[in-house]
Amino acid sequence: MLRIAVFVSGRGSNLKAILVHPELTNLIKVVAVFSDKTECGAFEIAKSFGIETKVVGKGENKIAPVDLLDVLKNYNLDLIVLAGYLKLIPTDVVEYFENRIINIHPALLPSFGGKGMYGMNVHNAVFHSSAKVSGATVHFVNTEYDRGKIIAQKCVDISDVKSAEEIAERVLKIEHQLLPEVIKAFAQDKIKIEGNRVVIKS
């Protein structure tokens, strides 16, 4: 079983997509859910699945970012999944878990990524660019926002959309397919780094 920690900041629909995916049940175990928010939809989902929740930040009953690595080490993790987590992961954590932290981004990187590009900011930028396709990207995490190597992408036609909200809706549907697919491939040890490229073996 692949031991996973999921980092979230919001409603948690990607977390749920992982937890209910029938092909992941026998492959993974989500051992903890971390958030920078004390309360969020994702925490409610985690609790309903009996999963431990932890808050990262400054203050009482929170894990200070400088202590995060030690806490994570105690979980014996194979993979960390960022599913809508809005904060940068501390450098020591990124280095320790090199190529074992993945993030889902709701656009086709390397476009429409970087600091401040999250949630509706992304879909508004895509809408106003008049792009005809958007999609979702799962990538390895490094110390810059949305800049790690791309593992997998899925596209969606947005040539007929009338609003950024419509883009968000279409992209979210494919996020819920793509993230579990990548986690499954990771659990089956099919994700390989070959030179400068990340490949998923069939």
CB of 85 to ligand GRF, least distance (A): 7
Considering only residues 110 through 129, tell me which ones interact with ligand GRF, judged by CB under 6 A: 118-119
Under the binding rule (CB under 6 A), the answer on residue 11 touching ligand GRF is yes
| Burial class of residue 161, CB neighbours in 10 A (0-12, 13-18, 19+) | buried
Among residues 67 and 165, whose Cβ is nearest to ligand GRF?
Answer: 165
CB nearer ligand GRF, residue 8 or residue 158: 8
To ligand GRF, the closest distance from the beta carbon of 18 in angstroms equals 9
- Active site positions, annotated: 105
Which of residues 44 and 67 has its CB atom nearest to ligand GRF in the complex?
44
Which one, 93 or 109, has the nearer CB to ligand GRF? 109
- Quick note: the x/- pattern for ligand GRF over 42-61, rule CB under 6 A, is x-------------------
What lies within 8 Å, CB to CB, of 130 at 6+ separation is none
State yes or no: residue 137 binds ligand GRF (CB under 6 A).
Answer: no
What phi and psi values does residue 31 have, to the nearest 5 degrees? -95, -20
Closest C-alpha to 46, from 10, 78, 100, 91: 10
Token readout for 43 is 């925490």
* Inter-residue contact 174 to 125 (CB < 8 Å): no
Residues 70-109 that bind ligand GRF (CB under 6 A): 83-84, 104-106
Q: Which of 175, 178, 186, 191 binds ligand GRF (CB under 6 A)?
A: 175
Q: Pick from 7, 14, 158, 161: which binds ligand GRF (CB under 6 A)?
A: 14
DSSP string, 109-161: TTTT-STT--HHHHHHHHHHHT-SEEEEEEEE--SSTT-SPEEEEEEEE-TT-
Whole-angstrom CA distances from 2 to 30, 172, 198 are 8, 25, 20
- CA angle, corner 140, sides to 42 and 47, nearest 5? 15
Which span sits near ligand GRF by CB under 6 A: 5-13, 51-59, 70-78, 125-133?
5-13
Interface with ligand GRF (CB under 6 A): 8, 10-14, 42, 83-84, 104-106, 118-119, 172, 175
